[in-house]
Amino acid sequence: MHNLNREDPGFYNLLALTRTTLDGPAPIAGLHGALMSQDVRSGAYTWVVEIPAGWRARVDARTASLEFFLFNGSLSLDDGTHAAEEVGATGYIHVPQLCGGGELHSRKGALALAFWNPNIPCFPFPYTRNRLIKPHNEPWVNSVPGAHGVVHKSLRKPDPVPHPSDEGFDGGPGGYLRFQFIEPGLVAPKEHVHHECFEEIILLQGDCFLINEGQMGIGSVVVHPQEFYHAPFATRSGALLLVHTDAPMGYPWPPRDYPEVEKLTGAYFDDARWDIPTEHVEWADHPLKALQDESATYQNWRKNGDSALWGDDDPGKKVPEMPGKQGTASKFRASWTRHECE
């Protein structure tokens, strides 16, 4: 299910998308690739792009922030500061809006994700500035306060964490882009919802099973709009992910109990194969969908009024801190303007 609009949930494999010549802003225009998601209000996009060897492009960064994450190949940025630096696979380059721009160059060519964010809220220069990051040089940070098993390396910086022990999940004013790891055997047993942001998750290695969404393999993408209830999830071998949001997550997220999680995740662990790479399987085609559908406990839960798919479908205000309707973050971002970094 590949829904381009970020206000709709999606679950698909980016490696299976049909790639064509892209019609987008410079320097994306003319590259071969595919559109993954878009925010029609703010003009934000995510693409997978094929960058040819020897490619050069000038980025003035006047209208948007541009970020690249590499699956393979090489990419460099010549801005007078990073002229001799190059990133390879898993490398990240950020050219923030109104912070000087520069010339991009790919010596080897690359397969990359490109994130285009006009007027994204951010900290002022020099806190927000051009950056090249190699994740293997970055420290792991505990992602959830007081918990273990989920850690990340920040790519979009600054990425402040409000917890005194340098833990947290909010991200900066324009959200975050993180290289994240979930340990093998972890089960997140509750549903939750993000009131302030959309969430775009790309699986790089490993596996992740999401109830009601599907089984993620290499290249799988899941999109969770603002106010969309999602999870529980489990991973048997661990999951290395790229996680992208467009606003702070507002931790802690309101949790909700979900019926028979232990039964479903237990069946996933028992039946998952270890002799082949984990495959991308959408929920409609997953054998555990039938196991859930035949459960009277699950069917009763779906009928009892405590299982709305969207947080803004909560007439009884069971989540009293809910700040607004679906799309609030998108409307906020679309109303923003940026001024020159000084």
**Spans of all domains in the chain:** 10-245
pLDDT at position 253 is 81
As its CATH architecture, domain 10-245 has Sandwich (2.60)
Residues 6+ apart with CB under 8 A from 275: none
User: Tokens at residue 219, please?
Assistant: 């290249």
Distance between CA atoms of 223 and 9, rounded to whole angstroms?
5
Q: 233 — phi, psi (to 5°)? A: -145, 165
- Displacement of CA 153 from its chain's centroid (Å): 13
Length of the chain (residues): 342
- Displacement of CA 337 from its chain's centroid (Å): 23
pLDDT at position 313 is 65
- Displacement of CA 158 from its chain's centroid (Å): 17
Rg of the chain taking only CA atoms, in angstroms: 20
User: Tokens at residue 162, please?
Assistant: 């409000």
Three-state secondary-structure class, residue 301: helix
Distance between CA atoms of 273 and 75, rounded to whole angstroms?
36
Three-state secondary-structure class, residue 186: coil
pLDDT at 316 over 80: no
- Over residues 223-253, the pLDDT tens digits come to 999 999 999 999 999 999 999 999 888 877 8
Q: 223 — phi, psi (to 5°)? A: -120, 125
Q: Is 54 left (phi over 0), alpha (psi -120 to 50) or beta?
A: left
pLDDT at position 291 is 96
pLDDT at 204 over 80: yes
User: Tokens at residue 30, please?
Assistant: 């003319």
The amino acid sitting at 245 is: T
> Does residue 232 contact residue 335 with C-beta atoms inside 8 Å?
no
pTM score of the predicted model: 0.93
- Over residues 156-184, the pLDDT tens digits come to 999 987 554 544 467 888 999 999 999 99
User: Tokens at residue 254, please?
Assistant: 């309101």
